[in-house]
Amino acid sequence: MLSSRFLLMIIHLINPSHVSFGVGVITPRWLYVLASATPAPYGTPALIDETLEPLDMATIRRGDVVGIGIHTGNALRGYEIGVAARAAGAYVVYGGIHASLFPDEARELGGAHAVVTGDGERVWPEVLRDCVAGAPRDQYAGGRIEAETFLAGRWDLLPAGRYMWGSVQTVRGCPKHCSFCSVWRTDGQRPRARLVDHVLDEIVELRRRGFRFIALADDNFYPVTLGDLRMAARRKDPAQLERLQAIRAERFALMDALAQLPEDTVFFTQITMEAAEDPEFLEAMRRAHIRGALVGVEAVTPEGLKDVHKDFNESGEALVTRLQAFRRHDLHVLGSFIFGLPSDRPGTFDASLAVAERAGVTFAQFVMLTPFPGTLDFAAWEKSLGADPPCVGGVPLSRHWLIPQAHRPKVYMDHPVMSPDEIRDRTQAVWDRFYSLPSIWARSRGAVSSLKARLAFVLISKIYRQMYANTGIATDSARVNRSARWARLMAVPCRRLFAGRPMPDLRIARATAESSSPRTLPVV
């Protein structure tokens, strides 16, 4: 028999954000996965995504459970919510990368009753059971669960007409070790690839609901490179070679399955640049309707690549050639560049813009080097600040995410030749030039064909810039607010461009082991 307290309680799952746009670009997958992990007797969780609209605190009552997922960028807003929810008498539980790295911080500053570290889906029912019993533990170790047990999202809970893209994960973990990235340390270096049928079922459900644009929200969609296979063969390590070949074969099986989806389906993912030297893989991506990928270019010089431990990337002309290879397979590249690396010089900004333009990348993002916790860069930077780091408003710089947004510095690491303002101004100028109307219009010609599609391309480019450049780089809050308002206005017509016709009767053959086509493994 359920207690009355149990029946009255509501589970709130909250994705914090200090800016709301009314419409979201990509569905925050974790909300829907954790909703799946919530046992039915607890009722349907209330999902709140503050990138759509701010939380109404009046909805949280004594005895409710409030689950807050945080990464470093939204931790401070998450803590504000947690403190207020605890004051309202709710049980407050944190999860996500940042909470996994700083569980004590969530307790000290965010009002946490409990923190879940690692993958949350398996341990979540236990957390709820303990909250209902009035005795949540301080911490729950979610660990790294195996891919067979990854859960699909509860897409039946999606609010109608609020997101442009669906999101599905196919693999967790990345074998690389880039110095600015925490993925390989938090999700691990062993790729955990989901079963093809599980991925397919989830995608079909989203397509039935009218999502024809879907992000494959993977750490690295190309976890095994031809170079990895060659190296395993050279080392005469048959077990490792076999393991890598199996992962590669699974990727192809997945792409074969995705190829069956309706022609107008569009996937976007993230991969390393090494995929450019693997035409068989790129061709399979094209057949699988994967039309775009975020590619971490990071730096255009060998020195810059060394700075970020990304020596496997190319630089100079070879970089341009590699990026162009993606376009030959109908794959649009969102090139990601980092500014403020120790080897950067004032000329690096123009050189990077020139590479982005000559290489024909369709979209680009220019981010300033930021030491995010969990990365090698952060560890070295924190150490360099010493025992008594400088403070902003009483907050040590080494805890920069706790500095209120309006006062948060934009550049953290001392640079040998440029001031923080110079790096920020030059970065802003590169965004402005790449996304100027004439530049976007010129790019649209190579990206799409009809006039209508070119106009849509302009709208999408502009909204991308407003959402990701001005709200992240601008120092004055007036500019951030203006940008958020502008993005809000453009977001509604933009979402309509992405919406597809619902296909409630869509059926796709399951990709059982017997049905996936045999593939010749590459000669190494």
Q: Which residues bind ligand SF4 (CB under 6 A)?
A: 174, 176-178, 181, 183-184, 219-220, 272, 296
Q: Alpha-carbon dihedral of residues 46, 48, 52, 55, nearest 10 degrees?
A: 110
311 or 421, CB closer to ligand SF4?
A: 311
Q: Which of 20, 73, 145, 22 lies closest to 495 in space, CA to CA?
A: 22
202 or 219, CB closer to ligand SF4?
A: 219
* Cβ at position 144, least distance to ligand SF4 in Å: 15
- Encode burial over 472-500: b for 16+ CB neighbours within 10 A, e otherwise: bbbeeeeebeebbebbbebbeebbebbeb
Query: Which tokens sit at 357?
Result: 């333009």
* Cβ at position 156, least distance to ligand SF4 in Å: 31
For residue 190, the one-letter residue type is: R
| DSSP character string of 13-82 | EEE--S---SSEEE--HHHHHHHHHS-GGG-PPEEEETTTS---GGG--TT-EEEEE--GGGHHHHHHHH
* Cβ at position 378, least distance to ligand SF4 in Å: 14
Rounded to whole angstroms, the Cα distance separating 112 from 122 reads 20
Query: Which tokens sit at 441?
Result: 């219009």
Q: Are 268 and 290 in contact (CB under 8 A)?
A: yes
254 or 293, CB closer to ligand SF4?
A: 293
For residue 198, the tally of other CB atoms under 10 A from its CB is 17
310 or 443, CB closer to ligand SF4?
A: 310
* Cβ at position 310, least distance to ligand SF4 in Å: 7
* Cβ at position 193, least distance to ligand SF4 in Å: 15
217 or 467, CB closer to ligand SF4?
A: 217
179 or 265, CB closer to ligand SF4?
A: 179
Rounded to whole angstroms, the Cα distance separating 387 from 389 reads 6
* Cβ at position 298, least distance to ligand SF4 in Å: 8
Q: What are the φ and ψ backbone dihedral angles of 315, each rounded to 5 degrees? A: -130, 175
* Cβ at position 181, least distance to ligand SF4 in Å: 3
Query: CB under 8 Å, gap of 24 or more: what pairs does 190-193 form?
Result: 191/220, 191/223, 191/224, 191/247, 192/144, 192/146, 192/147, 192/150, 193/147, 193/223, 193/247, 193/250, 193/251, 193/254
45 or 296, CB closer to ligand SF4?
A: 296
140 or 337, CB closer to ligand SF4?
A: 337
Distances (CA, A) of 247 to 222, 224, 298, 418, 519: 10, 7, 26, 44, 13
* Cβ at position 273, least distance to ligand SF4 in Å: 9
Q: Which of 57, 39, 41 lies closest to 7 in space, CA to CA?
A: 41
Rounded to whole angstroms, the Cα distance separating 241 from 142 reads 30
To which H or E segment does residue 490 belong? helix 477-498
E-strand stretches of 384-444: 391-392, 395-396
* Cβ at position 220, least distance to ligand SF4 in Å: 5
* Cβ at position 272, least distance to ligand SF4 in Å: 5
* Cβ at position 416, least distance to ligand SF4 in Å: 24
The alpha carbons of the chain give a radius of gyration, in whole angstroms, of 23
Rounded to whole angstroms, the Cα distance separating 301 from 315 reads 5
Distances (CA, A) of 328 to 114, 304, 395, 452, 455: 50, 27, 49, 23, 23
Query: Which tokens sit at 456?
Result: 């849509």
178 or 300, CB closer to ligand SF4?
A: 178
* Cβ at position 177, least distance to ligand SF4 in Å: 6
312 or 486, CB closer to ligand SF4?
A: 312
136 or 175, CB closer to ligand SF4?
A: 175
* Cβ at position 173, least distance to ligand SF4 in Å: 9
78 or 191, CB closer to ligand SF4?
A: 191
